[in-house]
Amino acid sequence: MLPILLALLCAPPRPPVPVQGEVAPPAAAAVRAVEAQVDPRVELLTVVARLGGFREFTMGNSRSPYSERVERHFGAQREHAVVKRLVALRAERGVSYDAIPSLALHLGPLPELAELVPFDAAPERLDARWGGTKAREFLTELRDFARVTKAAEFFESERQFHAEVARRLSERLSQSRALPWFDSFFGARPGARYTATAGLLCGGGNFGVGVRFPDGRPESINPVFGCWTWDVAGFPVFDESYLPLFVHELCHTYTNPFVDRFERELAASGQRIHASCAAAMQRQGYGTWKTMVYETFVRASVVRCRRATEGDAAAAEQAAEEVKKQFVWVPALEALLVDYEADRKKYPSFDAFVPRIVELLEREAAKLPDPALAPKLVALEPANGASDVDPALTRLVIRFDRAMLDQAWSLVGSKEQMPEITGPLAYDAERKVLTVPVRLEPGRTYTFSLNSERNQGFKSADGVPLSPVPVQFSTAKR
């Protein structure tokens, strides 16, 4: 690894003015040092995921001269046992996304890749999807992969490139004023080592990972930042968007443990909220209610941090971004955090305040319709996925399992991919069957959806929207 010291500025140019009852952050704090690096362990694990075709590590924006060098060196080993095992682990236990760098950080340096923290008892911060001791079979094959590919030699040949990447990331993140706020808000972590890592094969993915040592050694906090823009010389470009990302990924190391400790209290509301926006969450990689709640704590805290260190305009911009990503309850949670800051006597630690967050999420969940009341698509004519459909067909027929809201529908798609609608849409007397008059063309594939995340016209008579249903069929050529 090639660490470069990164001194984070410790206070904003001028102290922010607190709102009524808000506690202003300290005007000054001791300088904190953070390291920026490219970590060969993270690179090695992401190489294996990349060879396995993991979409989060094969994004188009991760293509670069560096990724081409990686492909030339490692590409011949796509059939290696460790690649096949990782693909199987993704299918069986969901090992993906942040689980990849999480394991990397729990290993010693190449080529030995020893267990940095013994896996006999699952390490506290090792992603649970690895299964603790179950990861050892994978590690045996990973060490063989590193040996066969001469991975250590490859990363050594990239030393100067990695050093320059680390310097550039260091230069950008030196503009952040986040760490003093974290210490004030959540409590200082004496001796903790903060290391910002450039994930050269992570594309647009960013991961808040780290290591806690059972023997009392200081915690290692290692947010991994994706690289998705490249200059003409083949180096990643770290623009201003990395500053809120730094806050976001760093925040995971503070807030995830609170979600873990209050998992039982958060489960019911988390499950209901996740069910209401599952498609949007899954597309962002948040396939479970718990990962969504991790993000909820983080995103509200990021808004709060930006308000304290950058001002109200930056906080409003961040809150709007979270709502755009379907975290519509984040502004309410950020506003609730004012109570925590205003009365630290009542809430001496963030632990003491989490029950208030539990209550807020329960209220948010109670506003949502019962998922069991959501309508379901029973049948579609022509059938979804059908080929060789008669182009003389003049209507689509959509059948639901219950009465639907009349004069409300959302057929969503581009004009070029949608069937031409030739007349008014109409339900039958029970409002369970919708007829859509259309004109079809021969030799065409039609693609659209019933509802989308933003367009929710199809609703039950009780007002519960249909979950989006992708539709595609093709007509015969005549």
Averaged over 209-219, what is the pLDDT? 88
Domain enclosing residue 194, as ranges: 4-9+20-236
Q: Which amino acid is at 355?
A: P
- Specify burial of residue 307 (Cβ count, 10 A radius: 0-12, 13-18, 19+): buried
Q: With respect to residue 255, please indicate whether it lies within any of the assigned structural domains.
A: no
At 219 the pLDDT is 85
Q: With respect to residue 244, please indicate whether it lies within any of the assigned structural domains.
A: no
Q: Which amino acid is at 146?
A: A
Domain shared by 359 and 439, yes or no:
no
pLDDT, one tens digit per residue, over 72-130 is 999 999 999 999 999 999 999 999 999 999 999 999 999 999 999 999 988 988 998 99
223, 247 Cβ separation under 8 angstroms: no
What is the pTM (predicted TM-score) of this model?
0.66
Beta bridge partners of 469: 450
Domain shared by 33 and 147, yes or no:
yes
CATH of the domain at 428: 2.60.40.1220
The number of folded domains in the chain is 3
pLDDT, one tens digit per residue, over 242-296 is 988 888 888 887 888 899 999 999 999 999 999 888 878 888 888 889 999 999 9
Select from 334, 368, 402 the last residue of a domain: 368
Let me know the angle formed at the C-alpha of 121 by 118 and 123, rounded to the nearest 5 degrees: 65
* Residue 476 vs residues 199, 398, 435, 442: alpha-carbon distances, Å: 47, 21, 22, 5
At 329 the pLDDT is 96
Question: Tokens 């509301």 map to which residue?
Answer: 269
pLDDT, one tens digit per residue, over 117-168 is 999 988 988 998 999 899 999 999 999 999 999 999 999 999 999 999 999 9
Domain shared by 452 and 417, yes or no:
yes
Of 130, 52, 61, 60, nearest to 94 by C-alpha is 130
Select from 351, 368, 385 the last residue of a domain: 368
Domain shared by 362 and 455, yes or no:
no
List of E strands, 146-263: 193-199, 207-211, 220-226
108, 146 Cβ separation under 8 angstroms: no
Of 96, 21, 98, nearest to 338 by C-alpha is 21
222, 195 Cβ separation under 8 angstroms: yes
297, 327 Cβ separation under 8 angstroms: no
Q: With respect to residue 410, please indicate whether it lies within any of the assigned structural domains.
A: yes
171, 5 Cβ separation under 8 angstroms: no
Q: Which amino acid is at 113?
A: L
